[in-house]
């Protein structure tokens, strides 16, 4: 009986030692992001930070902060673990951290319409 207990304890230890830490997952997401940028031949983008929170055994959510030619942006990410493989998905558009609203048109003069002349 004690032998079974030690085998079970060793098995649990091996399973726990194989799981990745949050820091390792954040580093992998950073590396995958940069690899994707290189594949798409995007230049001038640097990852400043990746911050994740574990939601379940296989799901992490958080933000990825980048420095781009247009400014600094935050991207919402969702990371899924399946064994030793990792995948991430960007949720929505990048959010500028310098106060700009990228969903509004640039400050262009508005042409007067016929109702306000």
Separation of alpha carbons 22 and 82, rounded Å: 15
pTM: 0.66
Domain membership flag for residue 65 = yes
Domain membership flag for residue 86 = yes
Query: What's the CATH code of the domain at 41?
Result: 3.10.450
Highest mean pLDDT among 2-11, 73-82, 94-103: 73-82
pLDDT digits (tens, 9 = 90+) for 59-78: 999 999 999 999 999 999 99
Domain membership flag for residue 108 = no
The total of structural domains in the chain comes to 1
pLDDT digits (tens, 9 = 90+) for 23-70: 999 999 999 999 999 999 999 999 999 999 999 989 999 999 999 999
DSSP letters for 51-65: EEEE-SSSEEEEEEE
For residue 31, give its domain range.
Answer: 19-100
Domain membership flag for residue 49 = yes
Strand boundaries in the chain, DSSP class E: 46-54, 59-68, 71-82, 85-96
Domain membership flag for residue 67 = yes
pLDDT computed for residue 67 by the predictor? 93
How big is the chain by its Cα radius of gyration, in Å? Answer: 22
pLDDT computed for residue 114 by the predictor? 52
Tokens linked to 95: 């959010």
Q: Is the separation of the CB atoms in 66 and 48 below 8 Å?
A: yes
Domain membership flag for residue 93 = yes
């Amino acid at each position: 009986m004690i032998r079974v207990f030690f085998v079970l304890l060793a098995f649990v230890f091996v399973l726990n030692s194989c799981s990745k830490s949050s820091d390792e997952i954040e580093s992998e997401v950073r590396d995958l992001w940069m690899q994707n940028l290189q594949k798409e031949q995007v230049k001038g983008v640097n990852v400043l930070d990746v911050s994740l929170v574990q939601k379940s055994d296989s799901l992490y959510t958080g933000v990825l902060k980048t420095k781009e030619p247009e400014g600094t942006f935050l991207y919402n990410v969702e990371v899924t673990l399946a064994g030793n493989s990792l995948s991430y998905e960007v949720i929505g558009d990048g959010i500028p951290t310098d106060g700009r609203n990228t969903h509004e048109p640039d400050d262009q003069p508005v042409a007067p319409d016929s109702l306000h002349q």
